[in-house]
Structure 1
Amino acid sequence: MTEYERSRTMPALPEHVFDQAGRVDQLDGWLPRDLHVRVDDLPAVTVHEDRTGEDARGLFRARKEQLRLEWGTRETGRYAGWLQVAGLGSGASEVTVHLSFFDPRHAPPGDAVRDALDRSLERLEEQVRLGTENPAG
């Protein structure tokens, strides 16, 4: 198994960060740019990857009471991930994203994954900031 994890501190309450991260209709706003999520019948989703042109059947669950999102592939069990939000006090939060690739031969290169996770967390922070400035959005 190959695993990756990245964290980022965000200047927002953990509940707000979780709400922004877990909006299924806005996942494309912070996920890696070449991934697009289509909701089938939650928890079932389909993820399209631009790089390969392929669709993958997946699962997506939001556990609000734990401030945790979980996702992964259906049937094949090749991939899983989670996002956890934790309060740091003073209105700040730490967001951690973890990815697991169960067959190391199919895991993307480590540097590419770490860069994609960092960029995703940056985009999520921007989404959170915009949501704080405009709570209706």
Structure 2
Amino acid sequence: MYYLFPLLVNLLAFSSSYTPSLTAASTTPDLPKMHLAQKLNCNNPQTQVEINQCSNLSYQNADKKLNAAYQKLVPKLDRTRKQKLIAAQQAWIKFRDASCEFERSEYEGGTIAPSIYLGCLENLTKERTQQLQEYLKSDY
């Protein structure tokens, strides 16, 4: 009986260490935090876990670029257009997340599902960033 107690304590500690993160003012959906034990080589990932981690890093980079373009555009707009952009961006985030959830659903339960989801997020985010950058080129 006493030999089960340390095992139970370790199991509870491990299971409570996984907590999804939520970024308040970002376009990042609720993704689990990933902790790297060693330096990750995204030029040559060796396991599905590494592929998923690299996909997450790649998406996070695309999301930073999107947010930078958005932050540059907002101050250039008058109040009415700013409100319309905010509404459009909120709708786009919902669309992006739902669309990528659908894409991931084909692989539900598989180890590749996270990288499919993150790859979708990255691609749609890059497309939206290009749109915002085109708006920036226009005269406001």
Taking structure 1 as the reference length, what is the TM-score of the superposition? Answer: 0.32
Which has the larger share of strand?
1
Which has the larger share of helix?
2
State the structure with more CA Rg: 2
Larger relative contact order, structure 1 or 2 (CA cutoff 8 Å, min sep 6): 1
Taking structure 2 as the reference length, what is the TM-score of the superposition? Answer: 0.31
